[in-house]
Amino acid sequence: MARKIIGLTGKMAAGKNYVTDTLLQMDILKDNTIAVDADVLVHKIVPNFMPKIIETFTPEAEKMGIKITDENGNIKRRELAKIVFSSEENLKKQEAIIHPEVERELKKIIAENPNSNIIVNATVLYKIPLAKECDAIIFIDCPTFVRLVRAKKRDGLSFGQIYKRFLSQKKLFTKYQKLNSDIYRVMNFGSKSKLERTLAKVLKQIISI
């Protein structure tokens, strides 16, 4: 089959990483597929833009009484996140700094692996032009309460912080529908075998595109 670029996205704590791992283990993909986690790319990229990030968010941090750097001058990610997710304006400021470089890194990986399927795991994939180059997008969803429990256990954030992030993703699926791409909504709630059956059906359709 011709190689496929698959966008894998969904709301916070819906289980995107778990689904990515499940896809990589499936016979149809396991021998010729690379998964790229946009969050990992962001962590790699952020140090290159530390001066810009610090300059951009320090005034807001001072207003909120938050220190976004440690004693060595490194960014304290959790403290920065409090500011970034405190308003739509701050979120856009961060994205303007980071997203263009994420796009470049993703395109580089795709170009360097012309014979491999690529799974791009990214919550806000729709915000970068690469989204329109995907052959298909798999949107992972899950009931809000389940996601809340998962997020609390995984990230140790307060319910208020989690609520703000959930709120920012309220209409996430609609954002992807506007791309006019082939999109498949998969519920990650129930048994592993049920999830695998659903993903197998989705992959069959994607491969036939």
What is the reported pLDDT for 156? 85
Q: Which of 60, 12, 29 is nearest to 20 (CA)?
A: 29
Write the CB contacts of 49 (distance below 8 Å, at least 6 apart in sequence).
97, 98, 101
Token look-up 């129930």 returns 190
The alpha carbon torsion through 41, 167, 10, 82 (nearest 10 deg) reads 20
Token reading at 189:
């709630």
What is the reported pLDDT for 2? 86
Rounded average pLDDT per 10-residue block, the chain, 209 residues: 93 96 94 95 91 95 94 90 90 95 96 97 95 96 94 89 88 93 94 95 91
Q: How far apart are CA 41 and CA 44, in angstroms?
A: 5
What is the reported pLDDT for 78? 87
